[in-house]
A and B are shown apart, each in its own frame.
Chain A
Amino acid sequence: MTHRASLPSTPMPLGSVDAIVLGASAGGVDALLAILSALPSSLMLPMIAVVHIPRDKPSLLVKVLGARAHIAVREACDKDLLLPGLVIAPPDYHVLLDVARGGRHLAGAQDVHLALSNDEPVSYCRPSIDVLFQSAAEVFGPRVAGLVLTGANDDGALGLQAIKANGGLCAVQSPDEASARRMPEAAIASAQPQLVAPLNGIIQWIIALDAERAGDTEGTVFRER
């Protein structure tokens, strides 16, 4: 990795998390391409993304992002378990994190799965970053990291605030670097994230979180179904 030049001036917020949830809007595809092309294939931390795309267009995102990624990129399906790689919300559905019957919210990651919803758009967005982030905060408590990237609306601000309130880690792309600064600015104002950094710093943070988790025996053990 050669991202040292742009290391954030604040220390990287680290902790043992079971997943990263992230949201992006205008300019988000390019930002995600930059992140994905820099993440190593050995990355085990599950990532779940909401990227705003036109509701009626079949999503080409998986194909576009998958072509440049070294980790698996999939579209979310109802009841999918969390696995290493990036899962993307399908067009026109919210994606939430949920726990199986008998499991309790905040009980741990072993039985967390994705749940799709057809509920009304939130602030004109379906999928909504806030909906994903709020469910992540409820399911994982402190064991989740939220990341807000470039975008031209306020989606994600309330969700990131919820993650912070429940003890999770929060990061936002530097508004100066983002191709649209409104979404990062709204998230910073609302959540006071522990990390504000350009993409290079964000990439290092993700890799560091993955390393933390690998050293944590309480983390989820992934097994093939």
Chain B
Amino acid sequence: MRSIEGQDAEGVFEIELKLLLEAIFQRYHYDFRDYARSSLRRRLRQAMERFGASSLSVLQDRVLHDAHALPILLDYLTIQVSEMFRDATHFLALRRDVLPILATYPSLKIWIAGCSTGEEVYSMAILLEEEGLLDRAIIYATDVNEEALHKAEAGVYTLDRVPGFSESYTKAGGKGSLSDWYTAAYNGVVFDRRLRRNVVFSDHSLSTDGDFTETHLVMCRNVLIYFDRELQDRAIALFEQSLMPRGFLALGAKENLRVSSHAAAFETFNTHERIYRKR
């Protein structure tokens, strides 16, 4: 069915996109309405192929009437890409410059917002353990995607990703070998369960839920790029409310607070690594 083309098709796609996001929100209370449009459009085109749907309207019909379709669609709508110690210099800066300051507190709360399948949770836990801080820390690891959270909790990653993780671990100032922290099993590795003794995995939406807890450090990397400006602002307000005075905010390498109306609440701690500090 290809009766319309070019610009007309784009206009219709746009209408269907709005309707689909509204339908998902009303039916399942997942709110993607304020996600950056261009990435959503790409992902939904991929989802249409996966479902064999000729249009977003067909996809909407499926997701409204078949609850099994939702988790599959969520995998397209939520961010699933993550690596351990991605941008190793960022983790090096946390280790060298931020953790010594956090070490002066008797107990630590760290919120990893949008933790996806947990790669940064284990990165942070290893960092804290190696600096002798994990025992007095609580890490709140949150995501909207429950399937991703289950994977994060399992801590199992495929073997082919491990060389990249190991290289980044070393560049991030790792004190031993990454293999100290995992056991190889079948075609994958399982991270040491002791690393998550103080990790709380929890379902949380930056679109619809409130602030989390009195935290010393919020890490939210390469999540905000998927939000539109208004939703970015909402998330940054949540981080600000969640952080105690002088708490730290760690963003992704190409994210910044420049366009946020909450920018004034933060000072820059490390420009290049996008680490900010609440005033």
Residues of A that sit less than 8 Å from B by CB: 76-79, 90, 93, 96-101, 104-106, 115-120, 131, 134-135, 138-139, 141-142, 165-167
Contact = CB atoms under 8 A, between A and B. Distances in A.
Interface string B219-237: 0001011101110100000
Contacts of A105: 10-11, 13-14, 37, 41
7 contacts: A77-B254, A79-B229, A90-B253, A115-B38, A117-B38, A117-B225, A119-B39
Interface string B30-65: 000010111101110000000000000000000000
Contact of A120 (B81, B229, B256, B259): B81
Interface string B63-99: 0000000000000000101000000000000000000
Nearest to A75: B254
B5 interface: yes
B3 interface: no
For the residues of A in contact with B, the DSSP-based class is loop
A115 B38 CA distance: 8
Nearest to B8: A106
B229 A166 contact: no
Contacts of B224: 78
A141 B38 contact: no
Given A78-B224, A139-B38, A93 B229 contact: no
A132 to B, nearest CB: 10
Category for how many chain B residues contact A: 20 to 34
Contact of A115 (B5, B7, B39, B252): B39
Contacts of A104: 11, 14
B41 A117 contact: no
6 nearest A-B residue pairs (beta carbon): A96-B38, A98-B38, A135-B38, A116-B225, A118-B222, A78-B225
A101 B222 contact: no
Contacts of A118: 79, 81, 222, 225, 252
A99 B37 CA distance: 7
A166 B13 CA distance: 14
A166 B42 contact: no
B222 A119 contact: no
A79 B37 CA distance: 12
A119 B222 CA distance: 10
Contacts, number: 86
Contacts of A119: 39, 42-43, 81
B6 A165 contact: yes
Interface in B233-279: 252-256, 258-259
Contacts of B5: 165
Contact of A166 (B6, B34, B37, B38): B6
Contact of B7 (A99, A135, A166): A166
A96 B228 CA distance: 13
B254 A76 contact: yes
Contacts of B37: 98-99, 105
B161 to A, nearest CB: 13
A77 B258 CA distance: 10
A166 B259 CA distance: 31
A81 B182 CA distance: 44
Nearest to A117: B39
A141 B225 contact: no
Given A77-B256, A90-B254, A101 B42 contact: no
Nearest to A126: B81
Nearest to A136: B38
B82 to A, nearest CB: 8
B226 A117 contact: yes
A116 B14 CA distance: 20
A97 to B, nearest CB: 6
